[in-house]
A and B are shown apart, each in its own frame.
Chain A
């Protein structure tokens, strides 16, 4: 969706607050929030795409001003209320009214964290069809602006690039955020930054994005 999160190429955000050796968590509550996100007993249909999309739906002013892990809090709060697991009143009080959805599993015990931390989910799946593009092909990023979750950033839409890598078929994030299971070939597509932004004319710098087949059109 054309939301506040899609900031690639936008100007006016000011200088970068450069740091070199940050602690993992600036404040204790940030660590608690990450731990909650990792350890919570969650509905089966949740995935990281729904989490990202929920965060994108935050009020734009809050999106730009609230601390990162506070935005995690908001996304989890929304998803929990949306699933009917907790109520807004319970979140406000920090107290349970007693009900608990029976279908949710028992929470992750501390002993299993050592194993869970090794998990790195795989998103590639077997796929019978031939990919539409091959390495070296010229392609055009589709000029689309879907209302739902979309991992094709606005700054490349309509621009021409070159396929430089093929990763096999991956679960499509745009569909997974909306309860749909879809597979599509995933490509690394390289764009010349000077093609995307007029003031960069002459510079040889490039940007590569990982894009699904439905993000691309033929480049002729």
Chain B
């Protein structure tokens, strides 16, 4: 076997492109079949990963963490201080959660998360990235015109609220802690979690509606 060599990768891209099946579904199928034949892959493990990301790991995990932070000031403080340690405390660990940083929205600050260089994301908390998070329109403009980006998501911010954008350039991953909506004093943690949307935990949504599912 050979050591990784980026110069080889640059040469191989066009060569592979001109030889493999033209449809992504066929290419991926051929890769899976080949790797299974070579005893480098167990298709049952691929099934298991698909199931995990389709049904189990997703924004509900993150929503539970946000609701906990709304209900428990001590947990909120620990989450903002050391996200990874606070998650461990409630039994959550997972892919890309080795260095989690939670950032809280306030009356004067709104947080927005992006990865301009690829699509880094806290998978263990939020699952697979939404399609827009992976595309250049969002990745390019989030750091240059965050208010314009937010407006496209239907969020209009007054000048009194500053935007802090977090570009995930290393292995730190970000969770936005949205503000708890007013009028939810009577809701329990599970009802509160049902109000929290995926986009609010990335920062492309701000004011959570309280009729989404709490009652």
Contacts and interface: CB of A to CB of B under 8 A. Distances in A.
A163 interface: no
Nearest to A44: B1
B128 interface: yes
Nearest to A152: B169
A74 B13 contact: yes
Given A79-B9, A212-B170, A107 B50 contact: no
Interface residues of B, number: 99
B82 to A, nearest CB: 11
Contacts of A109: 42, 44-45
A135 interface: no
Given A20-B197, A36-B28, A92-B19, A122 B119 contact: no
Interface in A87-111: 88-96, 99-101, 103-104, 106-110
B124 interface: yes
Nearest to A23: B54
B214 to A, nearest CB: 17
Interface string A148-183: 110111010000000000010011010001110000
Contacts of B73: none
B146 A205 contact: yes
Majority SS of interface residues in chain A?
Answer: loop
B30 interface: yes
B194 interface: no
Given A5-B118, A155-B143, A173-B170, A16 B149 contact: yes
Contact of B46 (A32, A69, A149): A32
A78 B134 CA distance: 21
Contacts of A167: 99, 170, 172
B34 A96 contact: yes
A113 B44 CA distance: 10
B34 A90 contact: yes
B52 interface: yes
Interface in B81-131: 84, 93-99, 116-119, 124, 127-128, 130-131
Interface string B146-173: 1101001110000100111111111110
B211 to A, nearest CB: 15
Given A18-B153, A124-B99, A59 B144 contact: no
B144 A57 contact: no
Nearest to B116: A8
A127 interface: no
Interface residues of A, number: 123
Contacts of A6: 116-117
B162 A204 contact: yes
Nearest to B170: A210
A26 B199 CA distance: 18
* A-B pairs with lowest CB-CB distance, top 7: A94-B30, A8-B116, A35-B46, A210-B170, A120-B97, A39-B45, A35-B49
Given A153-B116, A206-B162, 18 more contacts: A7-B140, A8-B116, A9-B140, A10-B140, A17-B132, A19-B131, A35-B46, A36-B46, A39-B49, A54-B9, A55-B118, A70-B24, A78-B8, A86-B34, A91-B16, A110-B48, A205-B162, A207-B143
Interface of B: 1-6, 8-10, 12-17, 19-21, 24-25, 27-35, 37-42, 44-50, 52-54, 56-58, 84, 93-99, 116-119, 124, 127-128, 130-132, 134-141, 143-147, 149, 152-154, 159, 162-172, 197-199, 204
